[in-house]
Amino acid sequence: MEEHVIVTHNDLDGVAAGAVYCRLRGCSSAEARVFFVEPDSLPSLLKDLAKWVGQGVEVSISDLGVNEDSVDRIARHIRVMVERGARVLWFDHHVWEDDWVEKLREAGAELYVDRTTCAAGVVAKHLGGADEAVEELVAATCAADLWTWNHPLAGKLFRVVGRYRGGRGYKWKRDLLEQMARGILWSDQLQEALESYVDRELEGYNNALAHVKVMEVGGCRIAFLARHRGPPNNSLLASYILSKTGADIAAITRGFRSLSLRSRTVDVRRIAVQLGGGGHPAAAGAPLRPSLVYRIVGFLAPSILERWAARRVVEAVRVAGCRWRGGGGGF
């Protein structure tokens, strides 16, 4: 029996992409090895997988992109897996440079990149055989991930996926993946989770507005927020902050380990690339990597670490420029 390994992003699109893969591949989602990961952690995870993944194993990687700093390491680990007899399928909808695509394909990955849909849609399109349940899941997921919100389940699923964090969050997302793979998109359990989440989400909006800082960089307004745990999701929070502050860019960090960038008008991917990250023009992210000294000082005085993170954002915007999507503008 073929063994399946699913490596996917830990948001709704990642969970749904893993579920679509399991449903269309006919694998048992309960038995498949599932790893939810952020893009900056992908090289180290693939390095670990390359130590044992081999003959008879199919690896699905979904909703995860690469960047200039990570592509060579990732290609090296994939080449090891393929040489050991594994099959590696990669489904994504982020922005890829041509040389990144070439490197991954030369390493042996079967790479499918399609920016016209969400990652779950890429899996469904290229594996084929999608049934009604898959089509419904893809429609709901794409409506949330592509920010059209034209499906009644989009906002609900988007919220409940992030109900928990840490080990509990992994189990929760694994359970959701299994349910989705069986064609169950909503239940009494998810309704209860949604109601609990929304109560905490409203508190999160009020707290965020009290702590957001607006900075001006060459005519570009940046709303910067160092946030705590809990709802709302960064994308929902960014939309709220952009509306309330009139900023061009929302820059949100949680724990000072990573940064989320969102904008309705500015190409934030260019900014994320300056920080070693990537993503989409409207939604991108990057690792922050404060030094040990800053981490120690920040533990005692978080405001110092917050100022350091804000400076990193400002520097990246100065280098990348506040480029308006669709051409024109910027500096």
Tell me the pLDDT tens digit for each residue of 109-122: 999 999 999 999 99
51-85 pLDDT, tens digit each:
999 999 999 999 999 999 999 999 999 999 999 99
CATH number for the domain harbouring residue 120:
3.40.50
Give yes or no for residue 310 having a pLDDT over 70. Answer: yes
Q: Judge if 249 and 174 occupy the same domain.
A: no
- The verdict on residue 199 lying in a domain is no
Domain end among 128, 156, 186: 186
User: What angle do the packed helices 292-300 and 302-320 form, to 10 degrees?
Assistant: 130
Dist CA 250 CA 264 (whole Å): 10
Q: Are residues 32 and 97 in the same domain?
A: yes
Report residue 92's pLDDT band, with 50, 70 and 90 as the boundaries.
very high
Q: Is residue 158 packed enough to be buried (19+ CB in 10 Å), middle (13-18) or exposed (0-12)? A: buried
The whole model's pTM is what?
Answer: 0.84
Tell whether 135 is covered by a domain.
Answer: yes
* Alpha-carbon gap, residue 4 to 27, rounded angstroms: 7
Residues 231 and 281 in one domain: yes
Residues 59, 153, single domain; the answer is yes
Is 157 among the domain residues? Answer: yes
- Residues 284 and 166 grouped into a single domain: no
| Residues 271-292: tens digit of each pLDDT | 999 999 988 899 999 998 888 8
CA-wise closest residue to 287 among 9, 12, 39, 48: 39
Place of tokens 């909808």: 93
Q: Which residues contact 134 (CB under 8 A, 6 or more apart)?
A: 20, 23, 24, 124
Residue with tokens 């130590």: 51
Candidate from 56-60, 249-253, 296-300, 301-305 with smallest mean pLDDT: 296-300
Whether 180 and 212 map to the same domain: the answer is no
Picking from 154, 186, 218, the residue at the C-terminal end of a domain is: 186
**296 and 243 share one domain:** yes
Are residues 158 and 11 both part of a single domain? yes
pLDDT in tens, 132-188: 999 999 999 999 999 899 999 999 999 999 888 888 989 999 999 999 999 999 999
Residue written as token pair 């030369």: 106
Q: Cα–Cα distance between 190 and 183 in angstroms, integer? A: 14
Task: Looking at the structure, tell me whether residues 147 and 254 fall in a common domain.
Answer: no
Residue 90 structure tokens:
């990669």
Considering its fold, how many domains does the chain have in total?
A: 2
pLDDT at 153: 97
* Residue 234 neighbours by CB distance under 10 Å: 22
Domain extent at residue 112 = 3-186
Contact assessment for residue 124 and residue 134, using Cβ atoms and an 8 Å cutoff: yes
Domain containing 257 — which CATH number? 3.10.310.30
Phi, psi of 95 (to 5 degrees): -85, 125
Cβ within 8 Å of residue 230, ≥6 positions away: 200, 203, 204
- Pair (255, 216) in one structural domain: yes
